[in-house]
Amino acid sequence: MYDVILVRFGEMTLKKKNYNTFLKQINNNIKQKLKIFPNLEIKDARHRIYLFLNGHKHEEVIEVLNTIVGLSSYSLCKITSKDFDEISQTAIQLINYAKKKERITFKVETNRSDKSFPYNSLEISQEVAKRILPKIPGLMVNVHHPEMTLFIDFRTEGVFVYLDSIPGLGGFPGGMAGSGLVMMSGGIDSPVSAFLSIKKGVNIQAIHFYSPPHTSILSLQKVIDLCERLCEYMPNGKMNLMVVPFTKIQEKIYQSVDDSYIITIMRRIMYKIAHQVCQKYNIDCIINGESIGQVASQTIESMKVVNEVTNIPILRPLLTYDKTEIIEIARKIKTYDISIRPFDDCCTIFVPKHPVIKPTIKKAIYEEEKCNLQQEIEQAIKNIEIIELSSNNHYSVLEIDTNQDKFEI
């Protein structure tokens, strides 16, 4: 039905000095991701991009645009000739299609960049409104608070007619804001914290602590599937997942540490490892899905005790979010259904009955020294397995070869 998608940029237009760098980056990202539509034509204009669909379905293109960080909104346009009757005809079609109720208020807004046309913007709006109003029952003009706005964009190449706009992902273009290491447990929160970071332009990699046989291979697959899902939002569609062999460390902590401090020590060790990984791979910050008070290990006191092991900044994008808000985002980015698969992860398997809610640094250091984990930590870092994930190739650790004939229907 539509000819063109008009794409607008978001917050980045506020950043005057960095604007050109942003623009270059986002154009690259868009071009990369839209490669799968062979007939699509991309035309740049300052602050916006026009995508000529040339037969591609707009729903499919929008689905891809919805994974590109930095786009603020889209409008679905039809192109007509510079003729009032044709413009009005098209507008009627668009309004009838979008009109969800009997009575609706609207206004016409015209932008005339083609100054050769003999009418000014106001006159164009009036001419078109005059033709539309009698044709659509229940349509009323309200120039101050319209429920629907009809935009007419007079350009040299033709007239673009469209209604309102669909919100995009927003944020900054991918990969602009340094790098981060996301601690990915497999739960609902960490993928959301990763997504919010990607949205702000952080180039992320993920780290997962894996304790077989205490946690199953399915829990690792779950983390892989989550990362693959997040790859969709990465500008290059790729992400590395570092899998840390954590069994020995976890067992030793479990044997040596006072029950109530197991979680605290475990998290301190995870951050120690993350710290070294960041140094080794030049990653700027650690990102996690902690939210104040959600569980015992996420009290501010706990964060203080855990933070003490590293001086690398730890970003906690979900700090002040409610669980319901987090779930809403998780559903939107389609990680929720993966996260709720019922497999234990490193945080749930060794949970003591009464974890300490207000740990102290002094006691934590004392408990940690009892385990003497230096050697195990070095070994774990040495044996990290790096899995290169991408949005268009599924990676499986499940040892089932799905290419076998028996899976053919």
Partner 1 sequence: MIYLDYASTTPIDEEVLQTYVRIEKDFFANSSSIHKLGIESKYMLEKAKSEIKSLLDIPNHDLEFTYNATEANNMAIYGIANKYKSGKIITTKIEHPSVSGPMKDLEEKGYNVVYLDILPNGIIDLEQFKKELDKDTILVAIIWVNNIIGTIQPIGEVIRLMKDYPKAKLLVDAVQGLCKTVPDFSFNDVDMFTFSAHKFYGPKGVGCLVKKNGLELAPILRGSKASKALKPGTLSLAGIVACAKAIKKYYPLTKQNEQKVIKLWHYLYDNLKNNSKIIINTPLENISPYIFNISIPSMQSETLLRLLEQHQIYVSAGSACSSKQQIPEPTIFALSKSIERATHAIRMSLSSKVELQDLEKVVAVLNTI
Minimum CB separation of residue 394 from partner 1 in Å reads 11
Cβ closest to partner 1, residue 304 vs residue 341: 341
- Strand pairing category for 203-210 and 179-183: parallel
Question: From the CB of 337, what's the least distance to partner 1, in Å?
Answer: 9
- Taking the complex as a whole, how short is the minimal distance between the CB of residue 216 and partner 1, in angstroms? 7
Q: Would you count residue 66 as binding partner 1 (CB under 8 A)?
A: no
Give the one residue of 38, 116, 213, 399 binding partner 1; rule: CB under 8 A: 399
Report, in Å, the least distance between residue 237 CB and partner 1: 20
What DSSP assignment string belongs to 121-181? HHHHHHHHHHHHGGGSTTEEE-SSS-SEEEEEEEETTEEEEEES-EE---SPPTT-S-EEE
Gap between the Cα atoms of 299 and 315, Å rounded: 15
Least distance (Å) between residue 360 CB and partner 1: 39
CA 316 to chain centre: 15
Q: Does 145 bind partner 1 (CB under 8 A)?
A: no
Residue 52 CB burial class (10 angstroms; 0-12, 13-18, ≥19): middle
What DSSP character marks residue 393? Answer: B
From the CB of 202, what's the least distance to partner 1, in Å? 30
Question: Binding partner 1 by CB under 8 A: which of 343, 355, 371, 384?
Answer: 343
Region class of 237: left (phi > 0), else alpha (psi between -120 and 50), else beta: left
Instruction: Specify the stretch interacting with partner 1 by CB under 8 A; choose among 74-82, 94-102, 133-141, 240-248.
Output: 94-102
Q: Is the CB of 255 or the CB of 402 nearer to partner 1?
A: 402
For 242, the 3-state DSSP assignment is strand
- Out of 16, 17, 46, 100, which residue is the one contacting partner 1 (CB under 8 A)? 100
Phi/psi of residue 138, nearest 5 degrees: 90, -5
Q: How far apart are CA 182 and CA 171, in angstroms?
A: 18
Q: Identify the CA nearest to 187 among candidates 211, 222, 216, 215.
A: 222
Is 14 one of the binding residues for partner 1 (CB under 8 A)?
no
Query: Widest CA span of the chain, in angstroms?
Result: 85
Told to check if 218 binds partner 1 by CB under 8 A, we report yes
324 in contact with partner 1 (CB under 8 A): no
Q: 57 or 135: whose CB is closer to partner 1? A: 57
How many angstroms separate the CA atoms of 269 and 308, rounded? 11
Under the criterion CB under 8 A, does residue 102 sit at the interface with partner 1? yes
d(CA 291, CA 318): 5
* 367, two tokens: 């408990």
- Which listed range, 80-88, 254-262, 268-276, 397-405, lies at the site for partner 1 (CB under 8 A)? 397-405
Is position 403 an interface residue for partner 1 (rule: CB under 8 A)?
no
Q: Which stretch binds partner 1 (CB under 8 A): 11-19, 33-41, 298-306, 338-346?
A: 338-346
Rounded Cα gap, residues 83 and 152, in angstroms:
12
Nearer to partner 1, 216 or 247 (CB): 216
Tell me the closest approach of the beta carbon of residue 215 to partner 1, in angstroms: 12
One of 165, 216, 236, 247 touching partner 1 (CB under 8 A): 216
The token duo for 301 is 């006191």
Which span (184-192, 237-245, 370-378, 398-406) binds partner 1, by CB under 8 A? 398-406
Left, alpha or beta for 277 (phi > 0: left; psi -120 to 50: alpha)?
A: alpha
**Interface contacts to partner 1, rule CB under 8 A:** 100-102, 216, 218, 340, 342-343, 398-400, 402, 406-407, 409
